[in-house]
Amino acid sequence: MSPILETVSEFATEPSRQHLSSARRKAAARSRGRPPLPEEELVARIQALIAELPTYGYRRIHALLRRQARNGGPSAPNAKRVYRVMKVHGLLLQRHSGKADERRHDGRVAVDTRNTRWCSDGFEIGCDNGEKVRVAFSLDCCDREAMGFVATTAGISAEDVRDLMTATVEHRFGRVNRLPSTIEWLTDNGSCYTARETRRFAREINLRPRTTPIESPQSNGMAEAFVRTMKRDYVRVAEKPNARAVINQLPSWFHHYNTVHPHRALGYLAPREYIVQSTSEELSGN
């Protein structure tokens, strides 16, 4: 910079400081960024979803809004906006405050290919009249589809498990006598699963029985997670006057889980959405 310009700069700086300071204060008073988007329509859409699915948090609500957009509905907001709107309007779920599990499974239950490992477990539903319904189910450890279930007011027997195996095979492969390739069948050590006749039948149809370590139910963590989902999102909010009413609702719960329920491990897709997007194989069943 030349001396004359430096001199002019020096003389020009001092008188203008007060003016610049005033300009900065005025600029600070102006709002920055884009104006907030209208929220009334989004709140109404979120409230409609929560009315139907009261156990869903903001991530699954966001997944459902994205699904609506894919199906031709209004455009979906990002997850941060959904969280903010739900927080402002008191729609967020309360944080779970239970104790963490003392045991943890270090192995990997999930697999990358469908029909290579299936898992099975059971749970109990108490009814208002004191009756109990016991359910056993099967899951694919890749796409998480609930492929079959059996339900009874008695205990789950070895015969019930064999019926479940048959229903699961037919759901995926139709009425065949034997699977085209061996599939692992992962369960806990319940007597209905470890019965000699059950294991013999599994091998006959080309299932390979696998059991988790004793006193380590978390080793079948995928099945345990499914049980928590069923109890939280379906059993807890349903009418349960008696066993017959519960058993009649089970098909709709399983269908909803397979076709609607967003799953974090599947990119917040439902199991059958994931199957459609990841393979050209036709869906079987409902």
Q: Which CATH number fits domain 117-278: 3.40.50.300, 3.40.50.1820, 3.30.420.10, 3.40.190.10?
A: 3.30.420.10
Bridge partner list, 209? 185
Q: Of 194, 127, 138, which is closest to residue 166 (Cα–Cα)?
A: 138
Write down the mean pLDDT value for the chain: 81
Q: How far apart are CA 18 and CA 23, in angstroms?
A: 9
Give the whole-number percent of the chain exceeding pLDDT 90: 52
Stronger pLDDT, 227 or 80, i.e. the higher one: 227
What is the number of other CB atoms lying within 10 angstroms of the CB of residue 38?
Answer: 8
Residues 6+ apart with CB under 8 A from 239: 245
Rounded to an integer, the average pLDDT of 128-138 is 98
Identify the pLDDT of residue 214. Answer: 55
Identify the pLDDT of residue 139. Answer: 97
Identify the pLDDT of residue 10. Answer: 37
Check whether 22 has a pLDDT greater than 80: no
Q: Of 111, 102, 206, 122, which is closest to residue 164 (Cα–Cα)?
A: 122
Contact predicate 127/143, CB 8 Å: no
Rounded to an integer, the average pLDDT of 262-276 is 92
Taking the CA atoms of residue 265, residue 270, residue 273 and residue 278 in that order, the dihedral angle to the nearest 10 degrees is 10
Q: Of 66, 83, 86, which is closest to residue 74 (Cα–Cα)?
A: 66
Give the whole-number percent of the chain exceeding pLDDT 70: 77
Rounded to an integer, the average pLDDT of 160-186 is 96
Residue in the structure block whose two tokens are 């439902």: 270
Check whether 62 has a pLDDT greater than 50: yes
Identify the pLDDT of residue 34. Answer: 55
Contact predicate 157/240, CB 8 Å: no
* Residue boundaries of the structural domains of the chain: 40-88, 117-278
Check whether 55 has a pLDDT greater than 80: no
